[in-house]
Structure 1
Amino acid sequence: MRIEHEVLKETIKKALLHAGLNEEAAEVCAKTHAASSADGIESHGLNRVPRFVEYVQKGWVDPKAKPQLVQAKGAVENYDGHLGIGITNAIYCSDRAVELAKIHGIGCVTLKNTTHWMRGGTYAWRMAEAGYMGICWTNTESCMPLWGSDEPGVGNNPFCVAIPRENGPIVLDMAMSQYAYGKLGVYRLAGKELPYPGGFDKDGHLTSDPGAIEDSKRILPTGYWKGSGMAIVLDLAAALMANGKSGTDLDEENQGSCTGCCQIFIAYDPYLFGSRDEIQAMLDKRVAAADSSHPEEAGRKVSCPGERTIQVRKESMEKGIQVNEQIWEQVKAIAEGNMDITDISVR
């Protein structure tokens, strides 16, 4: 089913107000969740609202906390998120990275002790739309087996890069697993199989059944051993740079998804060593060449990351945003104060 954008945003906002967020935070978070769903990332848009409300109620997210500067050295700043709202903490830090880049050409903000930022691409898009190349990533609790293991031992640690192309940003937003758990949930709720195998079932067989992968907790690393290796170095790099917790620390605390995690935000001035005209011409030429690649199937089109997102966004604004009816009813119930937190299904 499809829901008009403003209706979706306002319903999410009411749910967040009911959960205890103030007017400003509820507005920012509702706008972000609605935008994620509008871009086709419903797994971290509307679908994440019930879980976020649960975490606030459990005290795993402090809706009143603000990021606090710990140390600063030149173009690098380190903040403590104090377990505040992941979205507002990340927006603050990505914006601060851009401000540092305006001064130094590059800005790096490291954030520790924060909470789930929802859709990581939100902040890469934000930096690109401000005219800067953006790089950001987060560490998480262990939810993916290291290559060669049959039990969770590392996070799927989302990584995002945004190229500020004026004719449409090129934005990569990916977890280190073939499919994030949120995407598995989207397919399971829709009663669909995955387009490609995404993990193993409880018997160790590679499968496209999202529910079987959720049950086994054996999601498949992107690129097999390569995704596994990238996941562990991103975990270590985030904890090192932010002077915060690694995925192992999050595992030991066991407070849900990403509670207490570290995040890194890097903004880079694209015209530091080249003019606007020459840089933009280079980007357009490269993207045009990539997009003109011969498709393996007739009638299909090859595109760079982020280009299809813009098309989905346009369709969502024209026709309404695609939502799962079960999740939509849950969020409406929270907004109306008719659902006790113990009734919320967050799977």
Structure 2
Amino acid sequence: MQRINFNEMKNTVKKAFLNAGLPDAKADICAQIHTESSCDGIYSHGVNRVARFIDYVNKGWVDINAEPSLVKSLGVIEIYDGNRGVGITNALFAVEQATDIAHKNGMGIVALRNTTHWMRGGTYGWKIAEKGLAAICWTNTESCMPAWGAKDTRLGNNPFVMAVPRESGPLVLDMAMSQYSYGKLQVTRLKGEKLPFPGGYDKDGILTDEPGPIEQSMRILPTGYWKGSGMAVLLDAMAALLSAGSPTNAIDKIEEGSCTGASQIFMVFDPAQLGGSDFTHQMANSVADYIKTSEPAEGQSEVNYPGERSTKNRHENLHQGIPVDDGVWAEVIALAEGKTK
């Protein structure tokens, strides 16, 4: 494990994307987002995803020149086809469109279908909250989790994001419908560690905190057991309904990597037109302060509100450098130098 300066990481990742054929503007945006994700401590969807994304580009699963196209406009709701373009730039486009609609109407919804992996879902919550707006976003995915009571994978883990603006740091929830995402399993395995709590079943159906056997069995545990399973089903159905796009069972038939053909929803709310900006910040502060003044449980030193650890990681990693696995970084450098396996 080593630490890399933010700008060095971004520039190296950008070179790798340029070598993969991305136009300069898209390479720069994607490198920025991947580096920000790692800087915030979400390594699994930051620099760790660079090689996989480039592999998808090389296989033609991501169209690096495609742009979203408008399918339908219904006032506060717009539907776009992502044309299987770059997931990050497609999602950021959807954020901007939903933001414009929200400024005009108090709320705006963009439903994006036929897109590709948006990487870290929380990115879009953070970007919206930093504009002083609130957000609810989610995506469906290919099957990677069994329904509650099942052995075979029929559900996506369908990441769900909510964000509320706050001057001293927004409240941002970014969670998969599994107890741990596959990215978290990978990061934990690379560190040679166990999960804090059991995260799924091994091939024999035994609940375990060892990430490797869960990755092999693909029997990750739905968050909240049957509740997470039910949420995954409905998030999938709602994403497909609102975008007139593909649900998980249709994405499975595409067979072009993780999230290719996914349906995503971006809901943006303008607090200034609701309770007002002052009310919003006072309310958000009261929520955060109420959580922070909780009495810590046994073995805990503090209680955090959603998004607080990401902010702390960002400050630390900007100062000390961003941690990255040696093998992962070597692979990114090779891609940046135009070397192939």
Shorter-chain TM-score above 0.5: yes
SS in 2 for 1:142: coil
The equivalent of 2:287 in structure 1 is: 286
The reply on whether 1:314 has 2:296 as its aligned counterpart is no
The equivalent of 1:302 in structure 2 is: 303
Deviation, 1:188, is 0.9
Deviation, 1:273, is 2.9
Deviation, 1:299, is 5.8
The equivalent of 2:330 in structure 1 is: 329
CA distance in structure 2 between the aligned counterparts of 1:190 and 1:299, rounded to whole angstroms: 22
Deviation, 1:98, is 0.7
The equivalent of 1:338 in structure 2 is: 339
Q: Over residues 60-88 of structure 1, what are the superposed CA-to-partner deviations in whole Å (9 max), with x where a residue is unaligned?
A: 00000001111101111000000000000
Amino acid at match of 1:265: F
Deviation, 1:271, is 2.7
Deviates more, 1:288-297 or 1:111-120: 288-297
Amino acid at match of 2:145: M
Q: Over residues 102-154 of structure 1, what are the superposed CA-to-partner deviations in whole Å (9 max), with x where a residue is unaligned?
A: 00000000000100000000011111101110111000000000000011010
SS in 2 for 1:248: helix
Please say if residues 133 and 164 of structure 2, whose CA atoms lie closer than 8 Å, have aligned partners that are also in contact. yes
CA distance in structure 1 between the aligned counterparts of 2:152 and 2:280, rounded to whole angstroms: 45
Structure 2: unaligned runs, 5 residues or longer: none
1:117-128 map, 5 Å:
117-128=118-129
CA distance in structure 2 between the aligned counterparts of 1:20 and 1:315, rounded to whole angstroms: 33
The equivalent of 1:343 in structure 2 is: none
- CA distance 1:298–1:156, shift in 2 (3 Å): closer
CA distance in structure 1 between the aligned counterparts of 2:31 and 2:279, rounded to whole angstroms: 38
1:138-287 map, 5 Å:
138-287=139-288
CA distance in structure 2 between the aligned counterparts of 1:235 and 1:64, rounded to whole angstroms: 27
TM-score (norm. length: structure 2): 0.98
The equivalent of 2:27 in structure 1 is: 26
CA distance in structure 2 between the aligned counterparts of 1:321 and 1:5, rounded to whole angstroms: 7
RMSD over aligned Cα atoms = 0.9
CA distance in structure 1 between the aligned counterparts of 2:287 and 2:9, rounded to whole angstroms: 37
The equivalent of 2:37 in structure 1 is: 36
Q: Over residues 174-227 of structure 1, what are the superposed CA-to-partner deviations in whole Å (9 max), with x where a residue is unaligned?
A: 000000001100011111111110000000000011010000000000000000
**Identical positions, percent:** 53
Deviation, 1:279, is 2.6
The equivalent of 1:10 in structure 2 is: 11
Q: Over residues 239-269 of structure 1, what are the superposed CA-to-partner deviations in whole Å (9 max), with x where a residue is unaligned?
A: 0100011100011121110001000000001
Amino acid at match of 1:55: Y
Amino acid at match of 2:96: D
1:59-70 map, 5 Å:
59-70=60-71
CA distance in structure 2 between the aligned counterparts of 1:8 and 1:151, rounded to whole angstroms: 38
CA distance in structure 2 between the aligned counterparts of 1:45 and 1:98, rounded to whole angstroms: 25
The equivalent of 1:77 in structure 2 is: 78
Deviation, 1:316, is 0.4
CA distance in structure 2 between the aligned counterparts of 1:72 and 1:191, rounded to whole angstroms: 49
Deviation, 1:27, is 0.2
Deviation, 1:44, is 0.1
SS in 2 for 1:103: helix
Deviation, 1:97, is 0.6
CA distance in structure 2 between the aligned counterparts of 1:119 and 1:60, rounded to whole angstroms: 19
SS in 2 for 1:271: helix
The equivalent of 1:104 in structure 2 is: 105
CA distance in structure 1 between the aligned counterparts of 2:54 and 2:130, rounded to whole angstroms: 29
SS in 1 for 2:136: strand
SS in 1 for 2:52: helix
The runs of 4+ residues in structure 1 deviating greater than 3 Å are none
The equivalent of 2:137 in structure 1 is: 136
SS in 2 for 1:119: coil
SS in 1 for 2:30: helix
- CA distance 1:144–1:322, shift in 2 (3 Å): same
CA distance in structure 2 between the aligned counterparts of 1:278 and 1:115, rounded to whole angstroms: 37
